[in-house]
Amino acid sequence: MSQNLNNIAIIGAGAWGTALAQVLAEAGRVVVLYVHEPELADSINKNHQNNLYLPDVSLNKNIRATSVPAEAMQDAGIILLATPTQFVRDVLTKFKPYLPKGVPLVNCAKGIEMSTGKLLSEVVADVVPESPYAVLSGPTFAEEVVRGLPTAVTFATDASEFEAKLWAQTLSGKAFRLYLSCDPVGVEISGAVKNVIAIACGIVDGRRLGQNAKASVMTRGMAEIRRLGLEKGAKVDTFLGLSGLGDLTLTCNSMTSRNYSLGFDLGRGRKLADILAERNTVAEGVTTARAIDAHANELGVEMPISDAVDKILYQDAGIDAVILSLLSRDMKQESR
């Protein structure tokens, strides 16, 4: 690979992609941000602001935006994929002719493909199997990252230790610390399922069911993450790390979380369609709940909280009836 690692291309200019661009530009990297909307790309280049997703942030002037895939990929040494999960396959198909050979593709999204039940590493393997792969995930609110507040995340890859360290060092910022992992599957499952659990926790708080109930949902939610992860070959230690327990703790306890706040509104009695109609951002847990429900059943993995969220979102189940159903389940061993 002859490309300069310091040349970073980011596909996706939502809040998270823009925040990552800011971190890396502030760290002295050369950043090209691919923006789907040409008018937003022009605005970022002229005004150094992303008025659609982070309107109150002044962006580093070294961030260059483009809506042309070939231009975004030119000279890229590392490519960050910050696209909503359900669009990843189409975006990769679109970019495949322009991806530089041997350049690592780092997934920064959190979710499971709804149509197939596949992890994003599996989607990447389907579309661009020749691309080296890594995943970056952890407790991250874009609004804090873009302001330079201290943040730590997990960087997981099956690549060699030398490559993993080199890539991670390149993607580190002044207050953005990466911890290495060799368990991309565990990191991806943790990041995907915690969004569903966050919706459940939001429902609990919106329904004013108390802190005892929310602590129980978080704890049993982690048990579901662990069960699915182990079934898919993940390492158990991953679930206690930043991408597991760390991200779950953050996402289940703050209105800044898109998934928690959506659940909170559901718990207060609002309809899903009305909530989504007011937003220009994606709550990944909404589609992931549907994907998990089907995939977990295929694998024979019991995930009652995730199943309950799916019933509320897609089967028009009443929240009180679903809660009663969860509470009346047969007694279980906690360690299973």
Active site residues: 194
Amino acid identity of residue 130, one-letter, is E
DSSP element (H, E) containing 133 = strand 133-137
Evaluate whether 263 touches 195 at the Cβ level (below 8 Å).
Answer: no
Relative to beta strand 151-157, strand 133-137 is antiparallel
Residue 211, C-beta contacts closer than 8 angstroms, at least 6 positions apart: none
Please count the other Cβ atoms lying within 10 Å of the Cβ belonging to residue 51: 13
Rounded to the nearest 10°, the torsion over CA 94, 66, 2, 59 is: -130
The pair of structure tokens assigned to 66 is 């483009």
Question: How does strand 176-181 pair with strand 151-157?
Answer: parallel
- The 3-state DSSP class for residue 151 equals strand
């999204």: which residue's tokens?
Answer: 109
> Looking at beta carbons, which pairs linking 240-244 to residues 24 or more positions away fall under 8 Å?
241/154, 241/179, 241/181, 242/137, 242/138, 242/139, 242/152, 242/153, 242/154, 242/179, 243/137, 243/138, 243/153, 243/154, 243/156, 243/181, 243/186, 243/187, 243/190, 243/191, 244/186, 244/187, 244/190, 244/194
